[in-house]
Chains A and B, each alone.
Chain A
Amino acid sequence: EAGVTQSPTHLIKTRGQQATLRCSPISGHTSVYWYQQALGLGLQFLLWYDEGEERNRGNFPPRFSGRQFPNYSSELNVNALELEDSALYLCASSLRDREQFFGPGTRLTVL
């Protein structure tokens, strides 16, 4: 069974640009979570999508947004990129209250 996949693996952008990160959950999982892991920091919760709806968001500005598609895959968009947005972005999927399974992450570098 395929695990959670994320693309791209690496992404390099400049300040002010927009970044789009993609995630495909494990087959059958309806929940997708996005986390930001900046260097030396723990996992900061960004967004939770379930059944196509945004269910919760962390303490991040509105320029962090996303969506979940009918096939449960998800997209994270970061607008007006800032240097401090440089981080590893992790996507996870789960069945509601079950354990989350993580993808390999997208490393975003903002120059």
Chain B
Amino acid sequence: AQKVTQAQTEISVVEKEDVTLDCVYETRDTTYYLFWYKQPPSGELVFLIRRNSFDEQNEISGRYSWNFQKSTSSFNFTITASQVVDSAVYFCALSGQSGGSYIPTFGRGTSLIVHP
């Protein structure tokens, strides 16, 4: 069985602060994929990143960066110099290949509130 835990239910920061969203996962698959999605108040989930289990390189995209550590089964997401527009619910997800199924398991999400 797969499991994704986002222990932080809600995080509140002031603009320009750095913030890290935690994601811990469990899987028995040797090949799997990890994702992050952003859900702004409008409701539509926006794909941010996909990482496969064989690629532990950290990734940076503008103010966003991701830290993937297989040793601790974590895939954390950091926003540098946060902005009000970053306010959203962020979901971490895991997709394995057990039984040929590619259904991702989503965490319960972390609500990020960035105050001006």
Contact = CB atoms under 8 A, between A and B. Distances in A.
Q: Which of B33, B42, B44, B95 has the most CB of A within 10 A?
A: B44
Contact of B47 (A101, A103, A107): A101
Interface string A37-81: 000011101001000000110000000000000000000000000
B104 A105 contact: no
A95 to B, nearest CB: 10
Interface residues of B, number: 21
A99 B47 contact: yes
Nearest to A43: B106
Given A42-B108, A43-B106, A104 B42 contact: yes
Q: Which of B43, B101, B107, B108 has the most CB of A within 10 A?
A: B43
A105 B102 contact: no
Interface of B: 33, 35, 37, 42-47, 50, 91, 95, 97, 101-104, 106-109
